[in-house]
Amino acid sequence: MEKIKVMISFDIEFNINGAFSNPDNYAPLGAASLVRAHAGQDHGLGFALACLKRYQLRGTFFLETLCSHWFGIAEMKKIAQSIAVDQHDLQLHLHPCWTAFKNPDWKTAVRKKNPDDSIANRSAEELRAIIGDAKKLFVEITDKNPKIFRTGNLEIDRQAFRIFYEQGLKYSSSLGAAGTGYADETLNLHNGVHEIEGITEIPVSCYLSKIPNKGWRLFTIPGSSTKEIEHLLNFAYQHQISPIVILVHASDFSPQSGHSQPQFKPNHFNQDRFEFLCAFLAKNTQRFSTLTFEEFCKETPATTGAAMPALSAPISGALLRILQNNVLPKIGVN
Ligand SMILES: [Zn+2]
């Protein structure tokens, strides 16, 4: 049996923080939305970085760069440097909604129409401008060229894949067909390595759950209990489903309340799940190797085809998740 390759991937992005729905009273939130301080402790990015360090694991951090149209370069640069210290992999993430701030009269514009945050359903010309801009900002922030990209909200279409390819990006982790999936059925991929319009696509892993809704779920920290994480990784090994891509956000570890004076409250269930994941991977190195996307893509990985077995998790794991996500927080336990 082969070792299963696991990539822990983070979307590193700032928060629009209500600025589009209430532009007069709220403004985007920068580094504080990633630090997520509570009682002098970091319950966001710093929590995750400390956890990875404790277990000597490296992750891939997809940096959203279009936010520089509001914050300038320095705000994300500071974050990039704090991640790069531990030799993690920095790659490109992009949320087109931030380009709204290029318009000096953005307040009037967002009152008329909420900015479109999807990279899908755009003209080739628009895509060239957005992707070129995001890429240029990434170089300014990190002093290196991105090799791998992930689109915001995992929204993408074939036209966008074509333009990313044209702009020199050859690897992506932008798919993850959870819920209703994509309008283009050929993009409904749940695992594996695929070739799309010249790009090597490595989707966020999805798994089948029987409850609460039958269907595909993304392999995320809020979306998977410790029992599910353990089962999914063991299942992947037994059925040789590789690679496994796990999606993490700093916000998983502490929800925000309030916009003008935001507060962050630790979510101990999610923090424990991430710690559990790291401990499991560090302990089971004979079956799993945890690596960055850059390492995975070093020698172009062979495509796996669409016929990989489906990852699935047992009802007991889902029950624990529902208890922790939906029931216990209502009585103040989290
Ligand atoms: Zn994102």
Centre of ligand 1 to C-alpha 86, Å, is 22
Centre of ligand 1 to C-alpha 331, Å, is 30
User: Running DSSP on this structure, what letter comes out for residue 55?
Assistant: T
Please state the rounded mean pLDDT for residues 169-196. 93
Asked if residue 324 has pLDDT above 90, the reply is no
Centre of ligand 1 to C-alpha 11, Å, is 5
Query: What's residue 58's pLDDT?
Result: 98
pLDDT tens-place string over residues 200-249: 999 999 999 877 777 899 999 999 999 999 999 999 999 999 999 999 99
50 phi and psi angles, rounded to 5 deg: -65, -40
Predicted structure pTM score: 0.95
**Res. 299 pLDDT band, cuts 50 70 90:** confident
Centre of ligand 1 to C-alpha 46, Å, is 18
Q: Of the segments 70-79, 182-191, 212-221, which one has the largest average pLDDT value?
A: 70-79
Asked if residue 306 has pLDDT above 70, the reply is no
Domain regions of the chain by residue span:
4-205+246-266+283-305
Centre of ligand 1 to C-alpha 10, Å, is 9
Q: How far is residue 320's CA from residue 317's CA, in Å, rounded to a whole number?
A: 5
pLDDT tens-place string over residues 36-65: 999 999 999 999 999 999 999 999 999 999
The third-level CATH classification (topology) of the domain covering 4-205+246-266+283-305 is: TIM Barrel (3.20.20)
Residues paired with residue 195 on neighbouring β-strands, in sequence order = 200
**Res. 186 pLDDT band, cuts 50 70 90:** very high
Asked if residue 318 has pLDDT above 90, the reply is no
Q: Tell how strand 256-257 and strand 263-264 pair up.
A: antiparallel
Centre of ligand 1 to C-alpha 200, Å, is 20
Centre of ligand 1 to C-alpha 155, Å, is 10
pLDDT tens-place string over residues 137-175: 999 999 999 999 999 999 999 999 999 999 999 999 999
Centre of ligand 1 to C-alpha 232, Å, is 24
Centre of ligand 1 to C-alpha 30, Å, is 14
Pick from 2-11, 110-119, 187-196, 208-217: least confident: 208-217
Asked if residue 100 has pLDDT above 70, the reply is yes
Which residues fall within 8 angstroms of residue 183, CB to CB, at 6 or more apart? 157
93 phi and psi angles, rounded to 5 deg: -125, 145
Centre of ligand 1 to C-alpha 93, Å, is 7
Query: What's residue 334's pLDDT?
Result: 76
Other Cβ atoms less than 10 A from the Cβ of 325: the count is 16
